[in-house]
Amino acid sequence: MQPLASGLRGISVPAGQGLILLCDVLLIALVFANIHRVRDRRLQVSLALMIFSLVYTMTIPNFPPAGLIGGGRKSYLVLVALAVGAMVGEDRRRLIHLSVIAAGAVVAAYAIKQHFFFGAFDTNILATQTADKYTNLYKGEQRAFSLLSSGFHVGMVCLVLIAYSLFTRILGRASSLGLLTLALIALYFTFTRTCLIIALVMIAYRICRTLRVPVVIAASALAIIYSSLVVVAPDQVPNPFTAVSDDTRFTGRSVSYVDAAQDWGVAPLRLVTGFGVGSAGSAQGDLFDGPAHIEPHNIFLKYVFEMGVALGLPFLLLIGGLIASAIRSAKQDGERDFVAMITLAVVVSGLSITVVEAWPANVYLFLIIGLYLGPRIAAVAGANQTEVNEQVTAMIAANASRS
């Protein structure tokens, strides 16, 4: 539904934005209507930190309400998706997986069409975007953004499809191969280098698993081959050792850290308490006149800047712990690799792309992780209940022996 809601902006901007909002509201309502089913303490505390941070932001002087609303969506929709995934029953998980695959396939297929045939409908969608030219263009060529807000959003959706095709058995071999081909072609037309690198890592890892080659040996071989190419063809192959000073993915992002440091220098207390939800929301700078705002390009900087060290670091640690639990609870026959690759996409892209804001890919990524968190929560709850039953049985037996 999300891609169609986003694409509706090409026909009517108010209708499209209204349907996007409805999708988000339904997701949030689903969590709070079933809040009693949230049993994991870490998930409970994370939701509490989210609510406290939103309330605290309301007390910040001159903080724009629009910045809070948009910022809350950009910062915490992933947590809501994670909670929804954890609530899904085992009998419905396959349906969720198939729904994500279907939605992603629509996005990928339209991205390919858009590269070759860019029509008035696509121009209308492009006109509704708040992103700058860098987001929409790569070396003067239009990125394929499909029905979404940018090529980066499409790139993340394609990574989800690649992970499904390589590391799950939800689809047959032929369907998985077709899905992989579709996703790789669409990903290429987005011209998102970070996503392309992650996709190559996924494929290389899949090959290593298939051939049973140790990952350390494979990684070392790839490093040697790549270093040799840098020496032989320095004009064609980027040098990783000079990328920090030459590559715009690094030089362009460093501005965010400088801006954050300057804002903390002016208001040191905000390093602890944060500048408020939305103050590090991408493409929201126009909403902030007096209060501080940065374009983070990094999910870790984003949460620390918005929530402060006091709340931001515990929040990140809690989310990290939940993701680690999801990986451990996944079965070892491929599922664990699948969740690990989804996590890889989140963490690596999160260092240069604010992936938690890349709607609807952000929802898909964390919904998937939540699906594998659910069995662990259920197992813990079951173990606790078993322990209680054993204690009750022991008490009954003790009373019977006394009598």
* Contact assessment for residue 311 and residue 274, using Cβ atoms and an 8 Å cutoff: yes
**pLDDT at 291 > cutoff 80:** no
Determine the 3-state secondary structure of 78 from DSSP. Answer: helix
Cβ–Cβ contacts within 10 Å for residue 80, how many? 23
Report CA torsion sign: 258, 151, 304, 63. Answer: positive
The model's pLDDT over 181-197, given as tens digits with 9 standing for 90+, comes to 999 999 988 888 888 88
Map 193-260 to HEC letters.
Answer: HHHHHHHHHHHHHHHHHHHCCCHHHHHHHHHHHHHHHHHHCCCCCCCCCCHHHHCHHHHCCHHHHHHH
Q: How far apart are the first and last CA of the chain?
A: 64
Query: Percentage of the chain with pLDDT > 90?
Result: 10
pLDDT for the residue 395: 45
pTM of the model: 0.81
CA dist 6 and 9 (Å) reads 6
Three-state DSSP class for residue 142: strand
pLDDT at 378 over 90: no
Predicted pLDDT at 379: 45
116-147, pLDDT tens digit by residue? 888 888 787 777 775 545 567 666 677 877 77
pLDDT of residue 127: 74
Each residue's pLDDT tens digit, 200-257:
888 888 888 888 877 778 777 777 777 777 677 666 556 655 655 555 555 556 677 7
Per-residue DSSP letter, 172 = -
* For residues 338-362, average pLDDT: 84
Looking at residue 2, its pLDDT comes to 72
| 27-60 pLDDT, tens digit each | 888 888 887 777 788 888 888 899 998 898 888 8
Residue range 390-399: mean pLDDT, rounded: 46
